[in-house]
Copies of this chain bind each other. A is one copy, B any other.
């Protein structure tokens, strides 16, 4: 760490995904439960692009994004028990919750109604300091939100699991994906590719659902038992009333005929969205839900417990994210962001080469 309470990283000063500026910025004051992480890799998440470009609303600029962070714990606070200095660790999209409420005590800390701090863009109370993400040299994070990484998982590959992976792993396990269940994953992007991988690893009959057949070979390699192309006529009919769970990972709701998807759900099956499209939502009438009593929901990240389970599952089963490595820097970031916008990645970028950039 260049100075005790500073990190160096790539910030944007406004809603442009092509203008990154390398500079120093302040970290929050070091707390008793905090861990300083020297970053070695960071996945590029769709949220990073959305956040910078403003699709989700006002942001606090200047801002350094990035919340799929892997690195080394180089300093731990005096009350830290979950992390050891020197350990390889990860940090995901959330970095704080109250820790005291019913939700926090029940492994629902990502739904804490009292206080949620995102890894970047959230203001630490009473400091005026805005949290900064992993396109940078270091992060300072409460131990609850720092996760030991199993040996077997390579740094660049595990990074995207920390947000994209967990985002789909949590709703899979919370909604019963496993042996004897038929699970669909809509949208084969960064999150969806983990969806297929994890649904299969959990033992479910796994179907990838995409517009065309372009990604069928990939889906099969990821473990899909079946593939549905929604550009084809009658795609829904053979599956009527058969899916126990569909996770919607699509990042656009344009032209989406929800009723046809829902017709594939078994009675009381669950349709869970994890993508957050920028467009207007779906009009939902009770009439669309009533013929099979389907439940529609959304899911937000996952608990620490689920994070650790997911990482262990990946290690035990030898699951490998499909990752393209990008050298951290203005050039690499600009290229990666532009390709993200176009969906030109199979299926995730990880920024690496941090030692070449930071002293």
Interface residues of A (CB under 8 A from B): 103, 106, 108, 111, 113, 174, 240-241, 267-268, 270, 273-277, 280-300
B-chain residues with CB within 8 Å of residue A280 when the two chains form the complex? 283, 285
Q: Are B294 and A297 in contact (CB under 8 A)?
A: yes
Q: Are B297 and A267 in contact (CB under 8 A)?
A: no
Nearest residue (CB) in B for A171 is B293
**Of B241, B277, B290, which contacts A300 at CB under 8 A?**
B290
Q: Are A240 and B113 in contact (CB under 8 A)?
A: yes
Q: Are B289 and A296 in contact (CB under 8 A)?
A: yes
Please name the 4 residue pairs, one residue from A and one from B, whose CB atoms are nearest each other, closest first. Answer: A281-B285, A289-B298, A295-B297, A273-B286
Q: Are B286 and A293 in contact (CB under 8 A)?
A: no
B-chain residues with CB within 8 Å of residue A286 when the two chains form the complex? 273-277, 281, 298
Of the candidates A111, A276, A289, A298, the one having the most CB atoms from chain B within 10 angstroms of its own CB is A298
B-chain residues with CB within 8 Å of residue A111 when the two chains form the complex? 267, 291-293
Complex alpha-carbon distance, A277 and B282, angstroms: 17
A241-B103, A267-B111 are known contacts. Are A297 and B293 too (CB-CB below 8 A)?
yes
* 21 sampled A-B residue pairs with Cβ under 8 A: A103-B267, A108-B268, A108-B293, A111-B267, A111-B292, A113-B241, A113-B291, A174-B268, A273-B289, A276-B287, A276-B290, A277-B286, A281-B286, A282-B284, A286-B298, A290-B299, A291-B300, A293-B297, A293-B299, A295-B297, A296-B297
B-chain residues with CB within 8 Å of residue A294 when the two chains form the complex? 297-298
Complex alpha-carbon distance, A280 and B284, angstroms: 8
B-chain residues with CB within 8 Å of residue A106 when the two chains form the complex? 267
**Of B270, B275, B285, which contacts A295 at CB under 8 A?**
B270
B-chain residues with CB within 8 Å of residue A267 when the two chains form the complex? 103, 106, 108, 111
B-chain residues with CB within 8 Å of residue A297 when the two chains form the complex? 268, 289, 293-296
Distance to closest chain B CB from A295 (angstroms) = 4
B-chain residues with CB within 8 Å of residue A292 when the two chains form the complex? 111, 113
B-chain residues with CB within 8 Å of residue A299 when the two chains form the complex? 290, 293
Nearest residue (CB) in B for A289 is B298
Complex alpha-carbon distance, A290 and B170, angstroms: 13
B-chain residues with CB within 8 Å of residue A276 when the two chains form the complex? 286-287, 290
Nearest residue (CB) in B for A279 is B285
B-chain residues with CB within 8 Å of residue A295 when the two chains form the complex? 270, 295-297
Distance to closest chain B CB from A268 (angstroms) = 7
Distance to closest chain B CB from A260 (angstroms) = 14
Distance to closest chain B CB from A296 (angstroms) = 5
Q: Given A276-B290, A280-B283, A286-B298, 11 more contacts at CB 8 Å?
A: A108-B268, A111-B291, A113-B291, A113-B292, A277-B285, A277-B286, A282-B283, A289-B296, A290-B300, A293-B299, A295-B296
Distance to closest chain B CB from A154 (angstroms) = 31
Nearest residue (CB) in B for A116 is B291
**Of B268, B275, B296, which contacts A284 at CB under 8 A?**
B296
**Of B268, B289, B298, which contacts A293 at CB under 8 A?**
B298
Complex alpha-carbon distance, A268 and B176, angstroms: 14
Complex alpha-carbon distance, A127 and B266, angstroms: 31
Complex alpha-carbon distance, A298 and B262, angstroms: 12
Complex alpha-carbon distance, A292 and B149, angstroms: 28
